[in-house]
Chains A and B, each alone.
Chain A
Amino acid sequence: MKYSYTAGQQTWHFENLAEVMAKATPARSGDRLAGVIARSAEERVIAQMVLADVPLKQFLNEALVPYEDDEVTRLIIDEHDAQSFSAISHLTVGDFRNWLLSDMATPEVLEGVRAGITPEMAAAVSKIMRNQDLILVAKKCYVKTAFRNTIGLPGHLSTRLQPNHPTDDVNGIAASILDGLLYGNGDAVIGINPATDNVAQAIKLMKLMDEVICKYEIPTQSCVLTHVTNTIECIEAGAPVDLVFQSIGGTEATNSSFGFNIATLAEAQDAALSLKRGTVGNNVMYFETGQGSSLSANAHHGLDQQTCEVRAYAVARKFNPLLINTVVGFIGPEYLFDGKEIIRAGLEDHFCAKLLGLPMGCDVCYTNHAEADQNDMDNLLTLLGVAGCSFVMGIPGSDDIMLNYQTTSFHDALYARRVLGSQPAPEFAQWLARMQIMGDAFVLNDALPEAFARSLNALPPVAGQH
């Protein structure tokens, strides 16, 4: 297929579909760094016009990363469901946008075509959608998953309680867990990024969280965000593993640089399923992604960073995860420069993942060298809440003292609940009520709930404090 466009006297040529995709992408620093960005604002819109005329079928004929070279491409092509695709196979990318926004595309219809949509089709249509389009369509995509509670029901928003500590001190971690629970957070997962990343340390942290979840009978799940091969070893050692974590990317070379391949994930999923620790469901995987990871690993095959990102969702989709989130502002300003680029990327990632049927959450975050601040995070959190985002992070006072970045706080999640009416996972909401932590209308208990008061009162008094 030829990719060109004539506007008046000037004809624009694009080498291939990958170039059209890259140049059609809304501006961001990572594509500039990679040298794939449109050379002018005009060229960007021309590329979007060219892209709008590309038939969806073309994405099945023109692989952006060669089939022979890349197991992610093979996964996308080999597992494409022609039956589901038949309902949209006659559309161009531009038609697809109209169809997604139309009243024909009900939640049920969207669920029916999911398996026929490839990551590249989702990425393509997102590039010609405005932010409000990304929000409106994502809101129609229902994705429900379950382990000890149910994530992703319409009108619900869950939170990952992230109690990181720079030396993995167990009391330091427990203090942040308590803070989070008493602010009604933690239904998506209690998930620790370990400071010391080895098997022995991971097992110690898994046991810590397992004991807390059992003692207080919390309907949630735990995860230590260590390498997938470490988690496999933890399971072999008899550790209480609820969810298997891995950071994933959209090309085989990216994942190789992360030290795993698709077979590794399959092995880990089987091992976790064999433990049968879920009570209301069996989604045992937790993935993180983020635009820029492929370029950072020099494994982007000349693609733009958003297309690489969406290809990672094909890897995720194969393993029916309980949770997946984009860590959108973590990577830094050389990939997403400012609040505007971070917000756009967060909305794209959420939309594309939901369209493909994934339980997408978002680490609404930024680093101190990005041109972003708390107001940008308020904006993105609110927009994602409206879009039906599955979960966000929760951390004491937005300050991750281990990873040195800022993400959403326990307070932020309650703000979102109050303005949007978003409920926690139903099993967890019942527990919050039973423990007298949070009642109707998202009102917190002014008194310290009894079960936790006992633990606090058992602590020796602190010298110099009252």
Chain B
Amino acid sequence: MKNNSTGVVENPWRRLREFTDARIGLGRAGVSLPTKELLEFQLSHARARDAVHFPLDCDGLITAIEDSEVINSRVSDIHRVHSRASDRMEYLQRPDLGRRLNEHSRSLLQHDISSPESSVSSEHDLGIVIVDGLSSLAVQQNIVPFLETLLPQLNEYSLAPITMVEQGRVAVGDEVGELLNARCVIVLIGERPGLSSPDSLGLYLTYQPHVGLTDAARNCISNIRPAGLSYAEAARRTQYLLDESRQLKLSGVNLKDRTQDDVIATVSGNKNFLIS
């Protein structure tokens, strides 16, 4: 171990980071974190905090969606609605309020259905619900490129207007899907940010959404982001789940995602370097 002039002892096993993203081999000043490592941690935490607290730039995201030819050619309209949680502080402490639309939003979607020229008067195969969740960063960065990957694979599905929910939890998609007459919804939501993954997007699929369903009725695809599950792989799994769901007429615990069955076989064997 190198001991430099400031007293920082480096760890030669830092090279084992080729095997893991864990913060191993950080070195030490006495037994404490070296300044560089301390501040890198603080930066990661600051980014995760900002992801939770920065409001979603809905106008910017709507513009970006409308500017995308791929998305725009499939989507008739975008609705912007709000949950019953009035602000972030209430949202964090009252998950129940984040699961329901406020009255104004409900009547907005209901009005849209009943209007004669509305595209929502009939049933749709799929509703796409964009929700800020716990990471506005994840939504801001991943929605457009992911939808551009996903939508061309879903040409057989008729789409309801896109709905964008502020201060929402996953279950708010049930209420939106019910109001829009969607046979199935996918909720795209900012996941609880990890220290090294402040930008993870989650996808939740629910067949025949209605208020009152629990997580047992949903299927989840997690960690969608450039450094995590790629857009292409996430879109492949989404299409698989949608097709299965439509055929079996259900979602949740009885709909198994068989696209991952090969995972255990692909990890690096059973012998590790400490033993061999």
Contacts and interface: CB of A to CB of B under 8 A. Distances in A.
Pick the most buried of A32, A208, A369, A406: most chain B CB atoms within 10 A of its CB.
A369
Interface string A57-80: 000000000000000000000000
19 contacts: A163-B22, A170-B269, A170-B272, A174-B273, A175-B273, A178-B16, A179-B13, A208-B272, A216-B274, A367-B192, A368-B49, A374-B45, A395-B22, A397-B37, A401-B194, A401-B195, A411-B26, A415-B31, A459-B273
Interface in A138-184: 163-179, 182-183
A361 interface: no
Given A172-B20, A414-B31, A456 B12 contact: yes
B269 A175 contact: no
B96 interface: yes
B45 A368 contact: yes
Interface in B16-63: 16-26, 28, 30-33, 37, 41-42, 44-45, 48-49, 51-52
B272 A174 contact: yes
A452 B37 CA distance: 24
A368 B195 contact: yes
Contact of B9 (A33, A415, A446, A462): A446
A147 B263 CA distance: 35
Most buried by B among A29, A163, A396, A417: A396
Contacts of B267: 167-170
Contacts of B272: 170-171, 173-174, 208, 212
Interface string A376-410: 00000000000000000001111101001110010
Interface stretch (A42-50, A196-204, A237-245): A196-204
Given A182-B13, A208-B270, A334-B95, 10 more contacts: A171-B16, A174-B274, A174-B275, A179-B11, A367-B192, A368-B48, A397-B26, A411-B28, A444-B28, A458-B273
Contacts of B48: 368
B122 interface: no
Contacts of A204: 270
A183 B42 CA distance: 22
B97 to A, nearest CB: 10
Contacts of A333: 92-93
A164 B21 CA distance: 11
A448 interface: yes
B20 to A, nearest CB: 4
Contacts of A447: 1
Interface residues of A, number: 68
Contacts of B49: 368
B15 interface: yes
A346 to B, nearest CB: 19
A456 B31 CA distance: 22
Interface in B43-93: 44-45, 48-49, 51-52, 92-93
Contacts of B13: 175, 178-179, 182, 448, 452, 456
B23 A396 contact: yes
Contacts of B275: 174, 208, 211-212, 215
A169 B20 contact: yes
Given A33-B93, A33-B96, A175-B19, A201 B264 contact: yes
A413 to B, nearest CB: 9
B258 interface: no
B197 interface: yes
A342 to B, nearest CB: 14
A368 B193 contact: yes
A165 B270 contact: no
Interface in A416-443: 417-418, 442
B107 interface: no
B22 A418 contact: no
B270 A172 contact: no
Contacts of B269: 170
A456 B52 CA distance: 40
Contacts, number: 186
Interface residues of B, number: 57
Interface in A31-47: 32-33
A292 to B, nearest CB: 12
Central interface residue in A174, A337, A368, A448, by most chain B CB within 10 Å:
A368
A250 to B, nearest CB: 21
B8 to A, nearest CB: 11
B41 A399 contact: yes
A446 B10 CA distance: 9
Nearest to B214: A298
B19 A404 contact: no
Contacts of A318: none
A179 to B, nearest CB: 4
Contact of B1 (A196, A216, A369, A448): A448
A200 B194 contact: no
B256 interface: no
Q: Closest 9 interchain pairs by CB?
A: A397-B23, A404-B194, A414-B31, A172-B20, A174-B272, A175-B16, A368-B48, A179-B24, A171-B19
A171 to B, nearest CB: 4
B19 A169 contact: yes
Nearest to B24: A179
A368 B270 contact: no
Nearest to A404: B194
B196 interface: yes
B236 interface: no
B3 interface: yes
Contact of A170 (B18, B32, B51, B270): B270
A428 to B, nearest CB: 17
Residue with the highest number of chain A CB atoms closer than 10 Å, among B94, B192, B274: B274
B95 A165 contact: no
Nearest to B49: A368
A182 to B, nearest CB: 7
A29 B270 contact: no
A415 B18 contact: no
Given A176-B22, A196-B263, A404-B192, A334 B94 contact: yes
Contacts of A397: 22-24, 26, 33, 37, 41
A368 B192 contact: yes
Contacts of A182: 11, 13
A465 interface: yes
A373 interface: yes
